[in-house]
Structure 1
Amino acid sequence: MALFLVSRTDRHDYDEYDAIVVRAGDESTALKIATNGEEERYGDHVYWDAAFSGFQRDGSNLRVEELVSEGPEGVVIKSFHAG
């Protein structure tokens, strides 16, 4: 398993994710984790409720990069965009 940084390639708004770090066996699995969600129904309207708001269901606004796990101690990622 490796760590992958999945980050947005487009602009983000308040209360949306712009990046996550996931543990996965490969880039494809990392992208699958990042685009997880459920189809929801409100009357006749069907919509995608993404696990990570702002991440497109098809991954079209995401980039996946494998992270090097070696290096000095310290913070790996900070991502804060409160509303």
Structure 2
Amino acid sequence: MALFLVSRTDHCDCDEYDAIVVRAGDEATALKVATNGRQREKLDGFYWDPDFEGFRRDGSNLAVEKLESRGSAGVILSSFYAG
């Protein structure tokens, strides 16, 4: 398992995620975790409710980067964009 940075490649609005760090076996699995969500029903049909607001279901606005596990102690990700 490795750590992967999954980050947005487009503009991030308020109350959306712009990046997450996940533990996964490969990039494809990291992208699958990042694009996870649920299909929900509403009066006029269905909609996609992502686990990470702003991450597209198809992953088209995301980049995946494997992180080095060695290095000095410190913060890996601090991402805050609240409305």
Q: TM-score, normalised by structure 2?
A: 0.97
Structure 1 runs of 4+ aligned residues shifted over 2 Å read none
> What residue ranges of structure 1 are gaps of 5+ in the alignment?
none
SS in 1 for 2:20: strand
Identify the residue that residue 10 of structure 1 maps to in structure 2: 10
What is the count of residue pairs matched by the alignment? 83
User: One-letter code of the match for 1:2?
Assistant: A
Displacement of 1:21 after TM fit? Answer: 0.2
| 1:25 paired to 2:1 | no
Unaligned runs of 5+ in 2: none
Whole-Å Cα distance in 1 between the matches of residues 43 and 76 of structure 2?
43
> What is the root-mean-square deviation in Å for CA atoms of aligned residues?
0.6
Q: What CA distance in whole angstroms lies between the structure 2 residues aligned with 1:35 and 1:20?
A: 11
Report the counterpart of residue 52 of structure 2 in structure 1: 52
d(CA) in 1 for partners of 2:27, 2:17: 19
Q: Structure 2 counterpart of 1:39, which letter?
A: Q
What TM-score does the superposition give when structure 1 sets the normalisation length? Answer: 0.97
Between the aligned partners of 1:63 and 1:34, the Cα distance in structure 2 is: 10
One-letter amino acid matched to 1:51: D
Percentage of pairs with the same residue: 67
Aligned to 1:77: 77
Structure 1 residue 45 displacement after superposition: 2.3
Cα-to-partner distance string for 1:29-82 (whole Å, 9 max, x where unaligned): 000000000001111221100000000000000000000011011111110001
